[in-house]
Amino acid sequence: MMLIACPHCGPRAHVEFDYGRTLDAILPLDAAPEQAAAVLYARDNPRGVSQELWQHTHGCRAWLVLTRHTVSHEISAVVPWVAATAAPRESGA
Amino acid sequence: MTRFSALSLLRAGLTGQKGWSRHWRDPEPRAQYDVIVIGGGGHGLATAYYLAKVHGVRSVAVLERGWIGGGNTGRNTTIVRSNYRQPQLQRLLEYSLTTWETLSDELNYNVMFSQRGALFLGHSDADMTHLAERGDSLRCAGIDAELLTRDQVARLVPLLDMSPNARFPVYGGLIQKRGGTARHDAVAWGFARAADALGVDIIQNCEVTGFAMTGGKVTGVKTNRGEVGADRVGICVAGSSGLVAGLAGLKLPIESHLLQAFVSEPVKPMLDTVVMSQSIHAYISQSDKGEMVVGGDPDHYPTYSQRGSPHRIEEVAAQAISLIPALSRLRMLRGWAGTTDMSFDGSPIIDTTPVDGLYLNGGWCYGGFKATPGSGRLYAHLLATGESHEIAAPFSLDRFARGATIDEAGAGPLPQAR
Ligand SMILES: Cc1cc2nc3c(=O)[nH]c(=O)nc-3n(C[C@H](O)[C@H](O)[C@H](O)COP(=O)(O)OP(=O)(O)OC[C@H]3O[C@@H](n4cnc5c(N)ncnc54)[C@H](O)[C@@H]3O)c2cc1C
Ligand SMILES: [Zn+2]
């Protein structure tokens, strides 16, 4: 059982959360068909550290970005999804 | 290799079980093969057997990282059935089921295939409508299905909680009488022994760590025991599909998650049918050793840990006990998990890949044991001829991009949705 430290609610059992998808699998709204197929259906499926979107479904319902190891299940970072995406958006502007 | 017969068993019995020989060789890898199959699970071993038996391709090696059958083949709850809803899956799994029916004779090895019936329970009027519709569709496809009333279910499985106040009241069921269970290890061993007898090299403790490529074509594999050449290489590694395909630069529509299963202490015969409920996702059977075998939902997130979460143990036990209250008196003996190759529509992939000379059989999720002989025959056909068999053709790698997914659960394109 994993303990996930929600930035809003504090540490909670992972049964309160739902795994969504890996961070590289977010579909841009204006994606071309080939890009959409790749984003939706092609996965690295890493054995090791991965960045994933989880939702605190049975808590604050926020989407979070977990940096998580897929063998040890160690969670090295949990940040709100907005914060995780804000940085590249700013630097791109 | 000794051929098994009633006489050979009797003779061995009378002479103290001495004189049995090894059932398959333990060869060193040769420099070159016609076909290499990566992965010595049931699917890989079956593929090698049918390559040699049906297609006469006998220069074949099965390379297994650990020991044969040590992956999901040896970890599954062994339910075999073909009563799916999607026509492509019906054809695939019925092809496999008819192969199961003669498999012990074919292999001269008792895989203990037991057609004890696979029963789905219905817990509401809506469930019964669904089951009736599924049964009709199966019968139209020539596959056996029988809708059972509440009383028929009660007679078949007397230990079910049939009270109207049951947590999951039983309204009736749908049974596939030709469904049942098989002995998982025996399936791996039987295919290994029969493939070996036809000249297939089964090489254990041999992990594929990379591909040898010439001009964009796969010409062999790199392993911890050196490089091994082959004209064609077939990936057949279940939960490791993404990792092995990744060695050739491919990304697959697969995520590796896990499924747990549990067995109780062994008891006298108490359940002679496979009982399943798809509404609450529970499945219960009794092994020939007497253990109650139970399972439920997968853990629903990417993991290679083969270590499940305890909340699922509680859930599976609660479901099983609410269906069969007598189970509450049993002690759980063991629990374990296997890494499942969850595809994005819940259906498998049997196809060529964009890399010349490299083939893929994977994405069986947590339902591929029942497909073992059929999958082996179809993959052997692909590896021998370069063309997909018509039954395998819908299970192509490009079906996702084409929007031609085969989504039994109707749950959409996320691996955790099933
Ligand atoms: C708990 C559980 C319950 C299940 N219950 C059922 C059920 O009731 N009915 C059903 O139909 N299905 C069930 N399944 C699914 C079924 O077990 C699998 O779909 C099926 O066994 C896959 O077969 P396989 O031969 O491809 O896999 P495996 O037996 O896993 O074989 C793959 C092999 O590849 C090897 N390998 C991996 N990487 C490498 C490498 N780099 N080099 C060499 N070898 C490698 C592995 O060591 C492994 O032995 C269940 C699965 C689990 C986990
Ligand atoms: Zn929260």
pLDDT band at B226 (very low <50, low <70, confident <90, very high): very high
Please report the atom of ligand 1 found closest to the CA of residue B337. 1
From chain B, the residues in CB contact with A43 under 8 A are 242, 251-255
Per-residue pLDDT of B52-79, as tens digits, reads 999 999 999 999 999 999 999 999 999 9
CATH class, A3-25+46-84 region: alpha beta
- What residue segments make up the domains of chain A, in order of their start? 3-25+46-84
User: Which residues are within 8 A (CB) of B208 and not within 5 positions of it... i.e. 6 or more apart?
Assistant: B38, B63, B65, B221, B222, B223, B244, B247
pLDDT band at A85 (very low <50, low <70, confident <90, very high): low
The predicted pLDDT at position B418 comes to: 86
Interface predicted TM-score of the whole assembly (ipTM), two decimals: 0.94
Distance CA B102, CA B159 (A): 32
From chain B, the residues in CB contact with A52 under 8 A are 301-302
Please report the atom of ligand 1 found closest to the CA of residue B78. 8
pLDDT band at A84 (very low <50, low <70, confident <90, very high): low
Per-residue pLDDT of B94-124, as tens digits, reads 999 999 999 999 999 999 999 999 999 999 9
CATH number of B115-178+256-343: 3.30.9.10
Mean pLDDT to the nearest integer, A52-65 = 97
pLDDT band at A83 (very low <50, low <70, confident <90, very high): low
pLDDT band at B3 (very low <50, low <70, confident <90, very high): confident
Residue B331, Cβ density class (10 Å: 0-12 exposed, 13-18 middle, ≥19 buried):
exposed
pLDDT exceeds cutoff 70 at B200: yes
Mean pLDDT to the nearest integer, B314-338 = 96
The predicted pLDDT at position A91 comes to: 40
Distance CA B12, CA B19 (A): 7
The predicted pLDDT at position A93 comes to: 37
Per-residue pLDDT of B277-308, as tens digits, reads 988 899 999 999 999 999 999 999 999 999 99
Residues in chain B: 418
Distance in Å, CA A7 to ligand 2 centroid: 7
Mean pLDDT to the nearest integer, A32-57 = 96
Q: What is the dihedral of CA A76, A78, A81, A86, to 10 degrees?
A: -70
- What residue segments make up the domains of chain B, in order of their start? 115-178+256-343
Torsion sign over Cα B84, B390, B395, B246: positive
How many residue pairs bridge chain A and chain B with CB atoms within 8 Å of each other? 69
- Category of B16 on φ-ψ map: left (φ > 0), alpha (ψ -120 to 50) or beta: left
Strands, E assignment, A1-93? 3-6, 10-13, 18-22, 49-55, 63-69, 75-80
Predicted model pTM = 0.97
pLDDT exceeds cutoff 90 at A87: no
Per-residue pLDDT of B232-274, as tens digits, reads 999 999 999 999 999 999 999 999 999 999 999 999 999 999 9
Q: From the CA of B89, which ligand is nearest? A: 1
Please give the backbone phi and psi of residue B102, each rounded to the nearest 5 degrees, phi first: -120, 10
Q: If you measure CA to CA, which chain B residue comes closest to A32?
A: B401
3-state secondary structure string across B163-199: CCCCCCCCCEEEEECCCEECCHHHHHHHHHHHHHHCC
Q: If you measure CA to CA, which chain B residue comes closest to A22?
A: B302
β-strands B172-176, B201-203 pairing: unpaired
Q: From the CA of B82, which ligand is nearest? A: 1
From chain A, the residues in CB contact with B401 under 8 A are 33-34, 37, 41
